Structure 1
Amino acid sequence: MRERPFGRTGRSVSEIGFGAWAIGASWGSVDDRESRAALNAALDSGVTFIDTADVYGDGHSEKLIASVLKERGGERPFVATKAGRRLPEQTVEGYSAENLSNWIDRSLQNLEVDTLDLVQLHCPPTALFSQREVFERLDRLVESGKIRNYGVSVEKIEEAEKALDYPGVQSVQIIFNAFRQRPAKEFFARAQAAQVAVIARVPLASGLLSGKFKPDTRFEADDHRQFNRHGEAFDVGETFSGVPYEVGLAAVERIRPLVEGDATMAQLALRWILMFDAVTVVIPGAKNPAQAQGNAEAAALPPLSEETMTAIRQIYDEDIAPHVENRW
């Protein structure tokens, strides 16, 4: 497992990480034994970066991570969490010093640590990125010792670019995959110039890019791929990357012939992301050990050919871009 520098923090992390949303909630049935096994499989495969949030299962994801790491002992991986989605309604005013402190105290308790490696504002309102005082509050939390670093998780390119204006921002988490290619156009170059880490989330487009879904695939009622198809609960871009399901299925069939050797479609999709040097770490989720190990093994695939990269770009331009390019 190769590592990449995590921005200006002085830390390096595995280029494949572990996204811990699925072991918390909103992805259908969750089995804690399988979740623990998935985490252990990822860590055994060389993963040194875990991404979670205080709202994933109302803290359940954070607590599971703490339990597994305590049981394993040894050197801790880099654990990133998020704060802000506990607000009943997303407003700039909700990101007060008191609320930020309370959210962070709760994550400290859940993760059983004295200092959080990284706290990311969890897809806050666009207007917040013009409020310097919010970032100054985070600076003070760093000074207090509660957090080592802070960053942002965003929905839109404009939010990611604005975040780079704040010197304390160490990382930007953004949706980036073969169905959401716009970040690579200009944002990646700016992030590299600022030495800001880039965390690529939703790398498999909520599983679409695994190639396992069909038109008649059914999802459980508590799975966001069922209840958030049109953005009913949160930004629709988080579900299938905002691509209409049937459109995504058709594009997947165009990508499938590009898979070579023993690789899976999911591994191809992850390796495609790693072709971009600006990406620090990609965070696929996993609900069982086989998924976690398969994700980690994507890092060992050889670089994709220029022909494959061109073909994926063409599929995006023709089939996907009209649905997503100008929306996020």
Structure 2
Amino acid sequence: MQYRTLGKTGFSVSEISLGTWQVGGKWGEPFNPATANHILNAAVDAGINFIDTADVYGDGESEKAVGQLVRQHPGQRIYVATKCGRRLQPHTAEAYQPAALRGFVEDSLRNMGLETIDLIQLHCPPTEVYYRPEIFELFDQLKQEGKIQHLGVSVEKVEEGLKALEYPNVTTIQVIFNMFRQRPAELLFQEAQRRDVGLIVRVPLASGLLTGKFTPQTQFAPDDHRNFNRAGAAFDKGETFAGVDYETGLAAVEELKQLFPGQPNLAPLALRWVLAFPEVSCVIPGASRPEQLTSNLAAEALPPFTPAQLAAVRAVYDQRIRPLVHQLW
């Protein structure tokens, strides 16, 4: 495992880390504590030391599993990142108030059984929230109280990430970035590096599309977001297949397969591609089964992309994907 510095937090984190949206329960299936514990421990055994969770994952069950993991490894430094804000109902800019966010942070601490949170992130708030300094000031108070170590933001749009960079206490930005979502590599990556802000990449496999294992006949469960959220019915559609039309995505994947023949599983290549960008601190693919974790970790054994390979991937994006998604996020 290779490690990179997570911006001005100073944390040395595994470049392949773990996101826990579906740990212990594949999308559309209930959370399974035993499966979650197995995956989390396997991740740590493999050298992963940064775990990303949120209070809404499994309605708090994911946070509890992560807290248990930390207690199971008392002599090992495991960095815990969680998120707050998505429990607000309705999830509107007006609902974002310091008192509510403080309550969420304290709930997360209780869920995990920890005294402090290494990294708390605003969980994809409405764009207007990034223009309210009082929201960001709250986290300075929480840091003084010892409840958090650092503040980050999880964003949907490049605009939101650029605005967040204006707040000195923002130490990380979590953003969707993959072969089908390349816009962040332009101005956002440059500005984050200039301000020493860590970049955490989520949805690196475009909800599994970039594994190359899906077909037009693939069926998703009714309560799987890849079924019901393709048009953004429940949350930002960019979280589902990175906002790419499913059929368009399949066609683009077929072109990628031609660039990398003999690769039945494109997932490690897709992760290796993300890590080709030095501004990226870590990538946080999820895993609902142990074999998916193994697949993710296989990226570490792959050689770096050549300039020609990077250009070829970019050409597929430019021709197939860019006109449809580039300016949306």
Classify the TM-score, shorter chain: over 0.9
Report the more deviating stretch, 78-87 or 214-223: 214-223
Preserved contact between residue 24 and residue 34 of structure 2 (Cα < 8 Å)? no
The residue that corresponds to 1:15 in the other structure is 15
The residue that corresponds to 1:273 in the other structure is 274
How far off is 1:25 after superposition?
6.0
How far off is 1:265 after superposition?
0.4
Deviations 1:237-284 (A, max 9, x none): 000000000000110010013336778300000000000011001000
Preserved contact between residue 244 and residue 325 of structure 2 (Cα < 8 Å)? yes
**Matching residue's letter, 1:16:** I
Q: Pairwise mapping of residues 306-321 of structure 1 onto structure 2 (< 5 A)?
A: 306-321=307-322
Give the Cα separation in 2 of the matches to 1:209 and 1:185: 21
How far off is 1:85 after superposition?
0.4
The residue that corresponds to 1:208 in the other structure is 209
Preserved contact between residue 26 and residue 224 of structure 1 (Cα < 8 Å)? no
* Counterpart check, 1:282 vs 2:280: no
* Counterpart check, 1:69 vs 2:70: yes
The residue that corresponds to 2:125 in the other structure is 124
The residue that corresponds to 2:109 in the other structure is 108
Q: Aligned Cα RMSD in Å?
A: 1.5
Structure 2: stretches of 5+ with no match in the other structure: none
Preserved contact between residue 247 and residue 319 of structure 1 (Cα < 8 Å)? yes
- Residue aligned with 1:94, SS: coil
Number of aligned residues: 328
Report the more deviating stretch, 89-98 or 277-286: 89-98
Give the Cα separation in 2 of the matches to 1:166 and 1:263: 44
Structure 1: stretches of 5+ with no match in the other structure: none
Preserved contact between residue 38 and residue 290 of structure 1 (Cα < 8 Å)? no
- Residue aligned with 1:170, SS: strand
Give the Cα separation in 2 of the matches to 1:25 and 1:195: 35
Preserved contact between residue 120 and residue 148 of structure 2 (Cα < 8 Å)? yes
Q: Which has the higher contact order (CA 8 A, sep 6+)?
A: 1
Change (3 A) 1:260 1:142: farther
- Residue aligned with 1:232, SS: coil
- Residue aligned with 2:9, SS: coil
Give the Cα separation in 2 of the matches to 1:195 and 1:127: 24
Q: Pairwise mapping of residues 1-328 of structure 1 onto structure 2 (< 5 A)?
A: 1-23=1-23, 27-30=27-30, 31-259=32-260, 264-328=265-329
- Residue aligned with 1:93, SS: coil
How far off is 1:74 after superposition?
2.6
Give the Cα separation in 2 of the matches to 1:315 and 1:189: 23
Change (3 A) 1:250 1:158: same
**Matching residue's letter, 2:40:** L
Give the Cα separation in 2 of the matches to 1:87 and 1:126: 15
* TM-score (structure 2 length as normaliser): 0.96
Preserved contact between residue 124 and residue 154 of structure 1 (Cα < 8 Å)? yes
Q: Percent identity?
A: 52
Preserved contact between residue 275 and residue 303 of structure 1 (Cα < 8 Å)? yes
- Residue aligned with 2:88, SS: coil
How far off is 1:79 after superposition?
0.8
**Matching residue's letter, 2:313:** I
**Matching residue's letter, 1:73:** P
